[in-house]
Every structure is written in structure tokens, then in C-alpha cells.
Amino acid sequence: AQKVTQAQTEISVVEKEDVTLDCVYETRDTTYYLFWYKQPPSGELVFLIRRNSFDEQNEISGRYSWNFQKSTSSFNFTITASQVVDSAVYFCAYGGNNAGNMLTFGGGTRLMVKP
Amino acid sequence: AAGVIQSPRHLIKEKRETATLKCYPIPRHDTVYWYQQGPGQDPQFLISFYEKMQSDKGSIPDRFSAQQFSDYHSELNMSSLELGDSALYFCASSPRFGMAYEQYFGPGTRLTVT
């Protein structure tokens, strides 16, 4: 069965620091997708990125960047120059073609950015 | 751009009552997913529909049922509510069936069972 692990349950940083959120997954699927979602205090789930298993190219979007390494089954998320508005719970999620079409979420990492 | 609409946003029920949660997907999305997120937990998949047919089923209690209607909106019916059903219920929609497509989440319905 697929499994997503976010070992960091809580991270606290000071504004402008860089922070990396770790995500490790387990699967036997050959084709799969990895996602990151942000859940601010208001509760909604905000889609950040989707990656398929054949695309290991790192991606940068503004202050956000993602590092996908299939060899270590990791899909880490880095926020550069963090801001207070980045404070939220971040979920890494897995979707596999052989696992139905549901998302399997990691336990989430609560990021607190202090001014 | 239009987003997924969920109603109601908040719902308070007593034990053993019933509740109906509604989800209106983004226009032209034919796939709907339901997830349950308990306090301090990650979202757990309940059930999904594609073209009005159930496609996958997760850890959904027998007391819950769901369907997708001809206009693609979906309803999650919950009976004999228990305290443990208190959670945030998310609906997500997707333009097609399959992992290659993003799931766009609605704002959630917060259900409190007292």
C-alpha cells in the first residue's frame, strides 16, 4: 500500500529564513503523482503543485521550489525568505494509477513563521 | 474563476441525527471526491464519483452514503451521527477521471456533532 510520511510535525522559523518541508513516500506503482497542498488557518486546501513520476526536474515558482528525487522517494518543498503569511499546515499527497484515484495524504507539517 | 462550492459551511447536529452535505463541482468537471479530515488529522478519502457512477470507495462508514446527480453535484448523506463524525468534510472536483488531473478542493463543511 502507498504511504506518505512527513516526519516534521511542526517547524518554527523567523521571517525571511528559508525552510524545507520533507516528504517521503512508499509505493510499488511505476506511474504516480505527487502533490503539495497548503492548509491555512481558515481551513481550505490550496493546491500548490503536482508532479508525475517521470518528471524529476526541479521546479521553482516564486519563493517556492520543489525537489523530487525518485532514487530516495522524496519530494521536498522549500520556501525561500519565508513570510508570516506562509504559516499553515502543508500536506504532501500521493496519487497512483493503481490505487484508485484518491489522494493519500501525509500527516502534514505545521509551519509557523514568526515576525 | 469558479471554484468548488460546498454547503453548508458549518453544521451542528446532535448524536443520532442525520446530515446532508452538498458539493457543486467546478463547471465541466465530471469527477467528484469526498474526504474527511478529523481534528489535527490529514484528509482521508471517503468516496468518489465519475460521470454519476461511484468509482472508488475508501474508509466510508456504512452509515454514510453518497451520490452524484445528473448536474454533477454530489451529496453526502450521514445518518446516526456519532461524536467521532465531527470533522471537516472536503469535496474536490477534477476535470477528468484519473490522477493526471488536479483535484480542486472546496472550502469544506465543518460538521460538529454534540
Model pLDDT for residues A77-113, shown as the tens digit of each residue? 999 999 999 999 999 999 876 555 789 999 999 999 9
Q: A3 CB near a chain B CB, below 8 Å? A: no
Model pLDDT for residues A44-70, shown as the tens digit of each residue? 999 999 898 988 888 888 999 999 999
Nearest CB to A45 within list B55, B90, B98 = B90
Verify whether the Cβ–Cβ distance A44 to B107 is below 8 Å.
yes
Contact B18, B81 (CB under 8 A): yes
Verify whether the Cβ–Cβ distance A102 to B100 is below 8 Å.
no
Contact B101, A100 (CB under 8 A): no
Q: What is the dihedral of CA A42, A44, A45, A48, to 10 degrees?
A: -70
What is the nearest CA distance from A84 to chain B, expressed in angstroms?
21
What average pLDDT does chain B have? 93
Contact B108, B34 (CB under 8 A): no
Contact A98, A88 (CB under 8 A): no
Q: Which residue has the cell 511505476?
A: A30
Model pLDDT for residues B41-80, shown as the tens digit of each residue? 999 999 999 988 988 889 899 999 999 999 999 999 999 9
- Res B3: pLDDT: 92
Distance CA B73, CA B75 (A): 7
Work out the percent of chain B whose per-residue pLDDT is above 70.
98
How many DSSP H helices and E strands does chain B contain? 0, 11
Q: Which of B22-31, B78-87, B90-99 is predicted least confidently?
A: B90-99
Verify whether the Cβ–Cβ distance B33 to A108 is below 8 Å.
no
What does B31-73 look like in DSSP terms, one character per residue? EEEEEEE-TTS--EEEEEEETTEEEEE-S--TTEEEEE-TTS-
B101 has a pLDDT exceeding 90:
no
Q: Do you find a cis peptide bond into B8, omega within 30 degrees of 0?
A: yes
The x, y and z cell numbers of residue B5, run together, are: 462550492
> A112: exposed, middle or buried (C-beta count within 10 Å: 0-12, 13-18, 19+)?
middle
C-beta atoms surrounding B71 within 10 Å:
9
- Res A98: pLDDT: 57
What is the nearest CA distance from A96 to chain B, expressed in angstroms?
7
Q: What is the dihedral of CA B55, B60, B61, B66, to 10 degrees?
A: -50
Work out the percent of chain B whose per-residue pLDDT is above 90.
80
Q: Name B39's bridge partners.
A: none
Residue of B nearest to A31 (CA): B99
